[in-house]
Structure 1
Amino acid sequence: MRTRLSICLKKARFPSEAAALLAPRTASIALRHYRCDRCGLFHLTSRTKGKRVARPGQ
């Protein structure tokens, strides 16, 4: 699914995957990073529908 431009503009942008991986460490919810198909940078999302999520300890 393509990211809507209005959503892309509202989200925080991270220039690298490494920077995006460091950001959610202080969050109270589980976040994952993804490369945006609009801007080419990385964003964070809490959505997991349709995504394989590793369970803790695996």
Structure 2
Amino acid sequence: MRTRLSICLRKRRFRSEADAIAVAQATEIVLMPYRCDRCRHFHLTSRTKGKRPAPLQRR
């Protein structure tokens, strides 16, 4: 499904998936990174139904 431009403009952008995962892991809710087909950056979503969990980032 294509991301609507109005949604893309409201969301925070991350240059890399690793940056998005780091922010997602710092929150109390489950967030998943995805590459936006509009801006080609990564955003976070709380919609996780039917999706694989985000990979754990090693420190």
Interval of TM-score (by shorter of Structure 1 and Structure 2): 0.7 to 0.9
Structure number with greater Rg is: 1
What is the TM-score of this pair, normalised by structure 1?
0.82
* Structure 2: runs of 5+ lacking an equivalent: 55-59
What is the TM-score of this pair, normalised by structure 2?
0.80
**CA RMSD of superposed structures (Å):** 1.5
Q: Does 1:5 align with 2:11?
A: no
Partner of 1:44, secondary structure, is strand
> What is the CA distance between 1:28 and its match in structure 2?
1.4
Deviation beyond 3 Å, 4+ runs, structure 1: none
* Structure 1: runs of 5+ lacking an equivalent: none
43-52 vs 5-14, which deviates more?
A: 43-52
User: Could you tell me the percent identity over the aligned residues?
Assistant: 67
